[in-house]
Structure 1
Amino acid sequence: AGLECGIIGEKFPGMDMVSIGPTLKNPHSPEEQLHISTVGKFYSYLLKILESV
């Protein structure tokens, strides 16, 4: 995904990781776009995950 998982994975080889978030297009570039319609769904999903921990 080109996110923090790559950086953390270099420091901790073999660590299982997952990257989640709303839908992005061209992340970490001047053309980065966020699909606003996916933010609410992601937020609800994240809350459910945190409530179960």
Structure 2
Amino acid sequence: DRYFPSSKLCSSCGSIKKDLKLKDRIYKCSCGLNINRDYNASINLSRYELAI
């Protein structure tokens, strides 16, 4: 799915941060997760690949 929100999805709780900008390099979620945006996306993509 080319529209899978891998960068905007929290890899810890699963919430989607719709207002995330490309310039935001650290993903900060309301659940308390603070993680590099690219690392967060890679976790989400690996989980997505396993689910398919």
State the TM-score bracket (shorter-chain normalisation). 0.3 to 0.5
Bigger helix share: 1
TM-score by length of 2: 0.38
Higher relative contact order, structure no. (Cα contacts within 8 Å, ≥ 6 residues apart): 2
* TM-score of the two chains, using structure 1 as the length reference: 0.38
Q: Which structure has the larger Rg?
A: 1
